[in-house]
Amino acid sequence: MSDQQENLPDYPGEEPPPAPKKGVDIRGRRISFGALAAWIGIFALLGLLAAGMLRNQEGPVTVGETVPDFTLTTFDGEQISLKELEDKVVVLNFWASWCKPCEEEAADLETAWRIYESRDDVVFLGVDYVDTETEAMVYLEKFDITYPNGPDLRTEISQTFRIRGVPETYIIGKDGKLAAFKISPFISLAEIQSMIDPLLES
């Protein structure tokens, strides 16, 4: 007889009690490790789904929020980073060549740029969203757009701003915070100016 058998308690006349189930006690209930792992997995999955849904419903960047840094690579190959544009008002316009409403504001945006171009504290940037370069170049030529424009590579800039479509325009103040935005085409040059001018006075 081994030592282990010798140490077993004696239960004369009856079966020994079953060995306790492996697992953990939660509020008096015994839960096996397998069931615990399954529950943890289910809750983790639900958490991920909830986080994804919340992100989808978050909506665009809000006014007053510091705009995260991004880098735009223009069609000419120049790289422009938001960080480099400190102390400047940045007008960031999302557009696409296939977007008809974008055409409504294209001429006004270019006119506005030419008004502010001589100043050092205003920058216009065009972000071409989900577009083909050939068509984009035709669009830029058609509206004689001269301010820097570039593709939204890997749709990273549009995801930063959580845009819902095009055109959308975001105006970033000199402090790097979002000052205003427009979720549709500008209806006039005056409307564009009315959003930029107050930021230049401060």
The CB-of-128 to other proteins minimum distance in angstroms stands at 10
What CA–CA distance (Å, rounded) separates 149 from 83?
17
The CB-of-171 to other proteins minimum distance in angstroms stands at 24
What CA–CA distance (Å, rounded) separates 94 from 137?
15
The CB-of-94 to other proteins minimum distance in angstroms stands at 12
Judge contact between 84 and 195, C-beta under 8 A: no
For binding to other proteins (CB under 8 A), which residues are involved?
Answer: 38, 41, 45, 48, 96-98, 130-132, 134-135, 151, 153-156, 165
Q: Which helix (H) or strand (E) holds 91?
A: strand 89-95
Please, which residue, 48 or 53, has the CB nearer to other proteins? 48
The CB-of-132 to other proteins minimum distance in angstroms stands at 5
Name residue 24's beta-bridge partners: 31
Please, which residue, 45 or 53, has the CB nearer to other proteins? 45
Cα maximum dimension of the chain? 103
Please, which residue, 132 or 188, has the CB nearer to other proteins? 132
